[in-house]
């Protein structure tokens, strides 16, 4: 079975988790990016990203450079913004044929909102089997991230 992890990462936290998981599962990765990049300053990122989430904006993505048809399963990696997945991931999940291939979610958060995000994604992803929720490495509770990643990898095998 050929597996792909598709992810969006602004600060690098999601990307770090995805790379760790992809190495263990021996699968490919694909970082999705919006055509219009996010602002450089953190304050502007919060305003723009939070505004996109609040208004349900689905941005255009840069072209995908992998043949998605070649993969049997897809895992999605997304940060949580305002208790929802990021707009770039919503743009990727507009394709129902892709949604049917998604079996796992890697959620990263600095402030919670995991349950709301997961509930919204479950409605889009009919074959979801495995999830992991990770905290920003700067937070004290993030010490459990390694254990959570190990369990997620075990469940996916």
Q: Is 133 in contact with 109 (CB distance < 8 Å)? A: yes
Burial state string for 18-46 with b = 16 or more CB within 10 A and e = fewer than 16: bebbbeebebebbebebeeebeeeeeeee
User: Residue 88 pLDDT more than 80?
Assistant: yes
Tell me what pLDDT residue 112 has: 76
| pLDDT score for 151 | 97
Model-wide pTM > 0.85: yes
* Confidence tier at 47 by pLDDT (50, 70, 90): confident
**Bridge partners, residue 31, by sequence:** 7
Per-residue pLDDT averaged across 77-101, rounded? Answer: 94
Of the candidates 8, 10, 49, the residue with the CA atom closest to the CA atom of residue 32: 8
Give the residue-averaged pLDDT of 17-40.
Answer: 95
């Amino acid at each position: 079975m050929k597996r792909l992890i598709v992810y969006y990462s602004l600060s690098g936290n999601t990307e770090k988790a995805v790379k760790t998981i992809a190495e263990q599962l021996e699968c490919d990765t694909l970082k999705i990016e919006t055509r219009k990049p996010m602002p450089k300053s953190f304050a502007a990122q919060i305003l723009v990203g939070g505004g996109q989430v609040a208004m349900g904006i689905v941005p255009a993505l840069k072209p995908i450079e992998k043949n998605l048809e070649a993969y049997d399963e897809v895992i999605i990696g997304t940060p949580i913004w305002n208790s929802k997945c990021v707009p770039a991931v919503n743009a990727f999940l507009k394709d129902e044929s892709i949604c049917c291939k998604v079996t796992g979610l890697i959620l990263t958060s600095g402030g919670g909102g995991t349950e709301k995000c997961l509930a919204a994604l479950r409605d889009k992803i009919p074959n979801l089997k495995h999830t992991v929720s990770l905290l920003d490495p700067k937070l004290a509770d993030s010490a459990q991230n390694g254990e959570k990643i190990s369990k997620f990898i075990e469940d996916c095998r």
